[in-house]
Amino acid sequence: MKYYDLKEQDHFYLYGSTVLREPGFHRFSIAERALIKPENPDAAWHSLCSAGIQAKFSTDAKEMVFRVRLLLASNMENMSAIGQSGIDLYYRNDETSAYTLLDVSRFDFHLDHYEVSLGHFHDGEKRSYLLNLPLYMGAVEVMMGVNDEAIITPERFENKGRIAVYGTSIVQGGCVSRPGMLITNLLSRWMNREFLNFGFSGAALAEQSVAAIIGSRPFLEMLIIDIEANAGTSDLMEKRLPVFIAEFRKSYPRIPIILVSRTTFAMDQYDEERIRLRAFYDGWLRKQVKKWRKEGKNVHYLNGAGIFPKYDAEYTADGIHPSDLGAMAIAKAYLKQIIRIEKTKTN
């Protein structure tokens, strides 16, 4: 077989990050990590994870073999190792005109590298593919091997303009079963559009520097902020969110911003402090959005408490983080809001 580096632009187009000219598959650059690390080392670390990074290409290969090197071996207790460190491959189904799961990686979860064969079409037909990279462990290198005579061509998303999502472990993908079930990966397939995932597990704390970094990304058409589960456990959201938005607005004065309150957790049924905080931030976010909209600012509110059925923790893997079912519910809620805003914009 002949092997190609996923970073070869003659064969693959990469999406989900704007700093992929640097080594690895990361979401913040070396300089950006150095900027945020003194204030939030966890965000700097999680920016090394390849959540939401995708490769688009077409090929007539009869078989595709992927060699993946990771930062570390899988080490999470509440998440599938395939979701944390694996890859999955979709192809464009001509019958449905949608991306359809083809295969998912299976490997020795104790290792920081693996080789897997995904996709076996023996008819030699050219097909379009979408490869999703690991969510909670950064890919250091990805190679794809194909039969010698196969042709690989890079492909683009049909719809232009990026949507950025800034959030917690839930946005980063905890605890879905595989990368394709990441909220932003679901949305990119459904909308045939690039999403930038800025989910940082336990570390979405609304620093001004993070707002500047996200604002530096070109061609953004919308920003979704879903940070209550981290910044809303103290008074950080009250103190920082207005400053965060003001900093982001220096780069994008007019694009829509959606503020999302957190989804329901199992502990909302018995933890009095959580119940109090949830009610407080629901009211606070609504007041902030109402105030900003009166000032003519393009800000919107999405009530996360309405995404899952009331008191239904079956949408989660552990009472907090969504399962695949929960991730799809969140993605559908985001999608509905995105479509509503974009329809308003075009009318």
Q: Do 187 and 331 touch, CB atoms closer than 8 A?
A: yes
pLDDT single digits (tens) 67-87: 999 999 999 988 999 999 999
CATH of the domain at 46: 2.60.120.260
Q: Is the dihedral of CA 219, 225, 226, 230 positive or negative?
A: positive
HEC-encoded secondary structure of the chain: CEEEECCCCCCCEEECCCCCCCCCCCCCCHHHHHHHCCCCHHHHHHCCCCCCCEEEEEECCCEEEEEEEECCCCCCCCCCHHHHHCCEEEEEECCCCEEEEEEECCCCCCCCEEEEEEEECCCCCCEEEEEECCCCCCEEEEEEEECCCCCEEECCCCEEEEEEEEECHHHHCCCCCCHHHCHHHHHHHHHCEEEEEEECCCCCCCCHHHHHHHHCCCCEEEEEEECHHHHCCCCHHHHHHHHHHHHHHCCCCCCCEEEECCCCCHHHHCCHHHHHHHHHHHHHHHHHHHHHHHCCCCEEEECHHHCCCCCCHHHECCCCCECHHHHHHHHHHHHHHHHHHHHHHHC
Per-residue pLDDT band for 347 (boundaries 50, 70, 90) equals: low
Residues 168 and 289 in one domain: yes
Residues 142 and 163 in one domain: no
pLDDT single digits (tens) 3-41: 999 999 999 999 999 999 999 999 999 999 999 999 999
Residues 189 and 334 in one domain: yes
- Across the range 304-330, mean pLDDT stands at 94
Residue 17: per-residue pLDDT: 98
Residues 340 and 283 in one domain: yes
Per-residue pLDDT band for 49 (boundaries 50, 70, 90) equals: very high
Residue 311 has pLDDT above 80, yes or no: no
Q: Which of 154, 187, 204 is the last residue of a domain?
A: 154
CATH of the domain at 290: 3.40.50.1110
Residues 148 and 168 in one domain: no
User: Model-level pTM greater than 0.95?
Assistant: yes
Residue 68: per-residue pLDDT: 98
Residues 149 and 180 in one domain: no
Residue 277 has pLDDT above 80, yes or no: yes
Residue 119: per-residue pLDDT: 83
- Across the range 177-198, mean pLDDT stands at 98
Residues 144 and 169 in one domain: no
Residues 42 and 189 in one domain: no
pLDDT single digits (tens) 188-226: 999 999 999 999 999 999 999 999 999 999 999 999 999
Residue 312 has pLDDT above 90, yes or no: no
- Across the range 103-132, mean pLDDT stands at 94
Q: What percent of the chain has pLDDT over 90?
A: 93
Q: Do 11 and 57 touch, CB atoms closer than 8 A?
A: yes
Residues 179 and 115 in one domain: no
Residues 315 and 179 in one domain: yes
pLDDT single digits (tens) 143-153: 999 999 999 99
Count CB-CB contacts under 10 A for residue 248: 25
Residue 346 has pLDDT above 80, yes or no: no
Residues 144 and 183 in one domain: no
Q: Is the dihedral of CA 202, 75, 54, 69 positive or negative?
A: positive
Residues 52 and 168 in one domain: no
Domain that holds residue 123: 2-154
Q: Which residue is associated with the tokens 């969110």?
A: 241
Q: Which of 154, 177, 205 is the last residue of a domain?
A: 154
Counted domains in the chain: 2
Q: Which of 124, 154, 184 is the last residue of a domain?
A: 154
- Across the range 169-182, mean pLDDT stands at 98
